[in-house]
Amino acid sequence: MKGTNATDAKNKFGHLLEMAITEPVAIEKQGRRVAVIISAAEYERLTALEDKIWGEKALAAVSKGFLSEKETKDWIKGKLNAEAPVRSRSKEVS
């Protein structure tokens, strides 16, 4: 993966776009990677791959079946109870 700093990326944006056509380009700001520029073709490929993966997961879930209404309510209730914030009681000063 090629790389450049944010200032060079701004000043040479056209060149950055040309570089991204052939391979991803990492952009650093203050020595820290903050972005990666990829080509439109690579973006489309990754999006299609993600769609395929989620589609396969959905089909697998359908084949396993669905929860009953009671199982769904119990699952939601368990999630809500598990994620409820713990509140501490402060002493009131009279």
Q: Which of 31, 33, 32, 28 is nearest to 10 (CA)?
A: 28
The backbone torsions φ and ψ at residue 88, rounded to the nearest 5 degrees and listed phi first, read: -100, 145
Which CATH fold topology does 2-38 show?
Answer: YefM-like fold (3.40.1620)
Question: Per-domain residue ranges for the chain?
Answer: 2-38, 42-83
pLDDT, average across residues 38-47: 97
Q: Provide the pLDDT for residue 64.
A: 87
Q: What is the pLDDT of residues 67-92, one digit of tens each?
A: 889 999 999 999 998 766 666 555 55
Q: What is the pLDDT of residues 43-56, one digit of tens each?
A: 999 999 999 999 99
